[in-house]
Each structure stands twice: as C-alpha cells, then as structure tokens.
Structure 1
Amino acid sequence: MEFFYILLVVLLVVFTALFTLAIIRTLQVDFPNVHIPPGVDQPGKLRAVHAHMVFTSAVGKILEKMGVCTEITFTRYMRSGKKRGPEPQLCLQDMHFGGVPVRLYLPRPRVPSAALRPAIIFFHGGGWIYCSIDSHDNICRYIARESGSVVVSVGYRLAPEHKYPAAYEDCLHATVHFMRNAEHYGVDSAQISVCGDSAGGNLAAAVSQTLAGRADLPRLRAQILIYPGLQAVDMDLPSYQQNRGVPLLLRERAAFFALLYLHGDASHKQDVLKGHHVSPEMRQKYKKWVSPNNIPERFKARGYNPQKTRDITAEIFKKFERISEPSLCPLLAEDAVIQQLPESFILTCEYDVLRDDGLLYKKRLEDNGVPVTWCHLEDGFHAIISFYDYGWLSFPSGKRGLDRVVQFIKGL
C-alpha cells in the first residue's frame, strides 16, 4: 500500500511537471509574436490581460491533447462570463425571439408609463466563436442604464459548429421579431437601432443593410459599429501591418476567426493572409472600396508597405466565392444599398488590425450621403470597451469609448 502511494505521488509530480512545461512551451511560442506599442492605454495592464488569454489558450490545447475537451470549448467556458445579480434600475428578462435566445434590459420607469422608449439591439463580439449574452452583460447594462434605452442582447449561434450564415440569420430573425413587436416592450418602433462590437459590429452592419430596403418594417434609427470587422478581401491594409502583433486581436487570429465562421476550419489561413483567396476580377471590382488609397495618410505614419503582386490559385479562390456576399463582408455592398443606411456611429482604435475596416466603411457611408459620427480612440486596442469596468484591469480609454456610444444614443 505504501508503494502505491509513493507511485501515485511520483506520477502526480511527473504529470504536474509535464503540464507546466507544456504551458511554458505554449507561452514561448505565442509571446514572441506580440508587440505592445508604448502609445497604447496602460501597456502593462494590456500585457497582463493578454498573458491571461494566452494561458487560457495553452491550457485548452493541453486539455484537447488529453482528450478532455477541445481548446475552443475550454476557451468559451473561460470567456462566457456569468449573469450578474439583479440591478435596481433595470428589469432583466431572458426569452427567445423566433427561437433565438435574447436578454432584455428594461429600464425601470422614470418616465410616464405611456411614453415609449428607444431600443438598442446588441450583437456581442468574440470572433463569431466565443462570448455570449453573459460575457457582454456589463456593457448592455451600462448602455440601458445610462441611455434610458431598452437593450436586446442576442445570443446567436457560434462557429465552427454553426457556420456562416447562421450567426447573421439569428441576428436578423431576432431583430425582425423585435421590430414587429416593439410596442409590446414599450418601445417606439421608429427609434430602434442595431449595435455590435467586433464580430457583432459585422453582424450589425449586415443586418442594417438587409433591412435597408424592407418596406414591411420601420426604418432603423441608427447603426452603431464598435471596431467592426467588415471585409476579408485584404488583410494587408496599413492597420493589419502596423498592428499585426498587438493584442487583443493579432492579424493571424483575425484570419482564423473569419475562416472558422465561413468554412468551419482554418486550413487556408496562410492563403487568406497572403491574399491568394481573391481572384483578380474580384480584387479589381472592389479596389475602389477596399484600398489603402482611401485611408488618410496620417494612419500610414507608423509604417505601410504596399502589397506585392500575389500568386493566384484558382482552386483556392473558388472556395471563397461567398466572400463577396455583403452579409459576410458588409464593406462590399453596392452603393444603392449603402445610400439607404441609417445614421451611423463608428468607433475605431488606433492599435487594432480592424481599424482600417472602420475607416473604409466611414468613407463609403459619407461618400453616399449617410451621416456618420466617428469616435477614434488614439490609445485604444481591440476589445477595449469590454474592460471599461474590470476592477484593477480597467482601461479608462474603454470607458471613454463606451460613454461616446451612450452620448450618441441619447442624441438620436
């Protein structure tokens, strides 16, 4: 019996050592590719947040190799968030709109009961793969509480289990259901806006475009796009080059997320990063919209090397034919659709690979007569508003960005 206990202890020590070495090895592989610029808001804190995310990924990879669960499953669990307790100023209701889970944030009456409120339909970020209604609960509470608006947070299906267009369809169906039943929730149907961050910004833009020509529904009041990803035609724009290694969204991860959403796997990630997935005809067609020439020169000051001629592989770009669909890449919508879009708010961050997606869409909207309110966080990084109230890891710039969102909503 004593021998058994000794053997158990030895095995436990060996397992712990191997587990630790595996984590260290993962960290050694991931960290050299990371660069945190001195101009970012509180670089030390950002490094700590990134280290936690890398550690989570490392543990997930180890658990996957052990056959316990997949890396994505573990990371989802770590990022899913938890529903907070009740809040005096809000009434929270979990329900389904057309089979899609949603959470309503209803401000408690501070106006006459007969008065109808504005509403924000919110789509969370997370690369179409991670996060949930709970992970963005604090943001939705803040928007509802500070703006006095009803907020509807949509829990759409996630990739890779549910590939494109599942997330888009869920967001569209939930939005249409709410717009048709707005008064039931004390909402003015003429004051409904869509909002989303990152992948959620992509979904908000896609839903807004789809509803732009609908005569059977009220017109959306506004679209609010927070560091949105709006195209996958060119991942070599200035912001992708300058911020390729800046957390919390590295350039390679951006391609990884887009591929899992589109195809359910990331086997062609390098082809996408090198631009092999876009045919010459498609590249020429969208050059007028997706071009570094449309980005103000001041955003190229930190460096930009114009892209070189690419080797085109017909077999590869045939697999990416759907990439031209505006419901996947809203930046590629025709002018006739863009012209019908509602008043817009776009938030971009200087140290974000998706910065130029927002800048290019801003130009497209303005060129087509759509009013745009633009907020640029000079010291911001991707996903910064999620850390507006994160204890000792809070970022003041994230709070400023979220307050600008609220200010825009209150001014509608």
Structure 2
Amino acid sequence: MGLFLMIFLAVLIVFVAMAFYYEHPKAEIPHGFSQRRKLYIFHYFLNFGFGLAKILEKLGITTEVHFLRIIMDGIPPLKDKHLFIKDLRFEKVKVRLYQPKISTTGQRRGILYFHGGVGQFGSIRAYERTCRYFSRKTNSVVVSVGYRLAPKHPYPTQFEDCLTATIHFMRNAQDYGVDPSRIIICGDSSGGTITAAVAQALVNRRDLPKLRAQILIYPFLQCVDFNLPSYQQNKGVPILLKERTLALGLKYLNKDTSVMEGVFKGCHVPEDLQLKYQKWVNPDYIPHEFKTRGYKPSIKHPVSEELYALAKSMFDPVFAPLIAEDSVIARLPEAFILTCEFDVLRDDGLLYKKRLEDHGIKVTWCHLQEGFHGTVFLALCGSMVSFQSGHKGLQKIVNFLRLM
C-alpha cells in the first residue's frame, strides 16, 4: 500500500507540474539561434522544475525556494588537484578561497565572486566550477562569497555581506598572497547588480585601495523602464522571461507581485523621477542595431502615487545601480560588461556602458550575439546544458582578467 501511494503521488506530481508548464507562456526562441532546439528543451525542464517546486510546497514536502536551491546547487565536482580550497569567514560572512598550487613570483591578483540567483538562490557550491575555472585559468586567488539569502535574510543583507567580505579582503589581501592594487570584483545576473553596487559603495573610501576593475555579467541594473527594446524583443526567451524577471525581483524586495502590471506600464515612476532618470534610462540611447528585431515606444500611463509608495525601494541604487548619481559613476573603476543579444537585461548593460564611458571610465564590452541569460553559468555544468555562447563568454572574461 505504501509503495502504491508513493507511485501515485509521483505520477500526480509529474502531471500537475506538466500542467503548470503548459499554463505558462511558451518559449519564444528566435529562429536564427543555432542551438534553438537545445535551449527549448532546457526551457521545458526549467519550467517543469518551477512547477514541481510549487507542487512539493503545496504538499508540505518542502518549500519552493529550498527545492530550487537544491536543483541549482547540482552535483559537486571532484577534488581539484591544481588548487588549495578552504572555507573561511570574512567577519561573519562565509567565503570559499581558491588558491593555485603552482608557485609564482610576486603577489597574485585577487577576484571576489558574487553569485547570481536574485538574492534568493545560488550558493558557493552552485558556483564551485565557475570559481575554480577562473582561479586555474588566470592564476588568481578567487574568493566566492556565500552571502545570506532572502527571504530569511531580507534585502539588502546580500549587498551588505558582499561589501563586508570585499572590505575584509582588501584590508587583508597580502595574507592571501594578493596584491591589494589588483583586486577585481565580479558577478553574474543579480551578482552583477551587487558587483556594481559594491563598486559604487567604495568610491569614497580613502582607507582602502582602489578596486582594479569590476566585471558585470548580464547584470540587472534598473527598474525604471521594463519596456526597453531588449524587454520587448526577448520577453519570452529563456531562461529569464520578462514576467519572471519582475516577479523574482519583487519577491526579493518582499513586495506583492500584484503590482506587476502597473510597474510594467511605468505607473510606479513619478513625473519628477521620470525627468531625472530619462538622462540615463532612455531607449534613445540604445544603438539602432539593437532595435532591428522590433521595438515600439511605450505608451505613457498615469502615475500611481500608491504604486510608487509600494515600489519606492526599487529606486535604491543598491538595487538599481544604473540610476546612481553622476558624482559616483565618475569615480568608478575600469569595467568589463558582458551582454547577451537574447536577454531581457541586455539594454541595462548597454545603458550602463554608455554612462561609464560618458564619464571617461574605460569599458571592455563583450556582446554574445547568440547569448541568453545564464549562458556563462551553464557553460561549466556539462555538455547537456552548456552552449557555445557561454564558452565564448568565459574565454573573454579570462582574457580580460589576465590583463589586470
């Protein structure tokens, strides 16, 4: 009887999870994408995972967040004979340190890595392969920061943990064989958001060495306009669908997702802020070649003061670094920005690139013509889920790091 019940529940879960998948928008993968079928299959299993997570939570087996974290963590890699790997704490923040075993003359560069996951997912374990790769390929000391996750630890705990870890590492760099003048911070997706925010937080610190560079891998950088060309063109492209982007962001801020429709229309931005932010967040600043796949200017909707009050925290530069003041942007370190053509966040990166360059900040830009959100992370997760664009992105990042 017990076995029969388990089989019945398993079948029920599968069918309900499939129903969840078919209730949601289908993937809109461009026909010119060379690995189109592979991405579609990956999208199917990803949506299936989201559906299964919801069902398991409703059945009281586990929470949706916990299940998705387990899936993202994956199977840990085998021991690496080329690296010394040690778990430490920088103040109260968990970190994992990767040091090449090969001897070297002088001090190495240091890299702090802030993982993605919208402040709710991801971990040191999930990014184990990424950090090992950067350490081996660039002969660098890499610190993977295991910042605390929402909802248990609400925003902006994640930024605060990364800032704490960065300051500790900068002050004690020589203890780890690192040159304090060669420290780079790096992150993907929401980790790229944190990277930009940490770099901004350090511009006025005279008690610390200046960061050598910041690496932003398809970062989320603004919440003023969710109808930029990249949002219109890539709203259904896996893995970061337009609706999923805002829904996860609102959950990260502990906001009700019922406000999504108004935010998509821009009703959350008061007129005075619209005037201020249009200097920095404006589709007119997106080069024409990024509009050829289609773009329609947004229709202006009435502003809702109630919606603004609910969404006000979205205008914190820690959450949206693109709207930081000019006085901060002008003092930032050199940057590497990676964007993907088929990513809703593509234009965030393009606009930040323009802001930095307008202030004379050197930017190395890598645009993956067949890239999509998450492709760099997937590149080291095995051939079944890796894509050509991800491998290209990894190599471009390594080439940049070797010059630092």
Shared fold by TM > 0.5? yes
1:394 is matched with 386
Confirm whether residue 174 of structure 1 aligns to residue 165 of structure 2: yes
What is the match of residue 397 of structure 2?
A: 405
Report the secondary structure of 2:81's partner residue.
coil
Q: 2:63 is matched with which residue: 70, 73, 86?
A: 70
* Pairwise CA distance, 1:123: 0.3
Structure 2 counterpart of 1:246, from 233, 237, 240: 237
Give the structure 1 partner of residue 365 of structure 2. 374
* From 16, 38, 41, the counterpart of 1:22: 16
Cα distance, 1:314–1:248 mapped onto 2, change above 3 Å: same
Q: CA RMSD in A?
A: 1.6
Q: Deviations over 1:252-290 (max 9, x none)?
A: 111012112222553422222222222121111101100
Please say if residues 286 and 332 of structure 1, whose CA atoms lie closer than 8 Å, have aligned partners that are also in contact: yes
Identity %, equivalent residues: 48
Range with bigger deviation, 273-282 or 91-100:
273-282
Residues 10-49 of structure 1 aligned to structure 2 (within 5 Å)? 14-30=8-24, 32-49=25-42
Q: Per the alignment, in what secondary structure is the counterpart of residue 374 of structure 1?
A: strand
What per-residue deviation string (whole Å, max 9, x for no partner) do you get for residues 19-44 of structure 1?
Answer: 333122112112x4321112335112
Cα distance between partner residues in 1 of 2:297 and 2:93: 43
> What does residue 336 of structure 1 align with?
327
Equivalent residue runs for 1:335-374 within 5 Å:
335-374=326-365
C-alpha distance in 1 between matches for 2:149 and 2:72:
13
Q: Distance in 1 between matches of 2:229 and 2:282?
A: 10
1:313-370 CA-to-partner distances (Å, cap 9, x unmatched) read 1111012222222111110011111111111100000000000000000000000000
Give a deviation string over 1:96-155, Cα, whole Å, max 9, x none. 11111111110113313xx11001110001122111111111111111100111111101
Asked if the contact 2:267–2:303 (Cα under 8 Å) also holds between the matched residues in 1, the reply is: yes
Q: 1:55 aligns with which of 18, 35, 48?
A: 48
User: Residue 282 of structure 2 aligns with which residue?
Assistant: 291
Residue ranges of structure 1 left out of the alignment (5+ in a row): none
2:292 to 301, 310, 325: 301
Q: Residue in 1 aligned with 2:192?
A: 201
Is the partner of 2:111 in helix, strand or coil?
Answer: strand
The Cα of 1:61 is off from its aligned counterpart by 1.1
In structure 1, the residue matched to 2:261 is 270
CA contact (8 A) 1:128 1:257 kept: no
Residue 282 of structure 1 aligns to a residue whose secondary structure is helix
Structure 2 letter corresponding to 1:149: S
For the residues of structure 2 that align with 1:367 and 1:66, how far apart are their CA atoms?
53
Larger Rg: 1
The residue identity in structure 2 corresponding to 1:324 is F
Using the size of structure 2 for normalisation, the TM-score is 0.96
In the alignment, which of 100, 103, 121 is matched to residue 96 of structure 2? 103
- Structure 1 residues 155-170: aligned runs within 5 Å: 155-170=146-161
Letter aligned with residue 411 of structure 1: L
The one-letter amino acid of 2:278's match is K
* Cα distance between partner residues in 2 of 1:256 and 1:286: 23
Which shows bigger deviation, 15-24 or 380-389?
Answer: 15-24
Residue identity in the other structure for 1:175: T
Contact 1:157–1:166, Cα closer than 8 Å, also in 2: yes
The one-letter code sitting in structure 1 at the alignment partner of 2:329 is: I
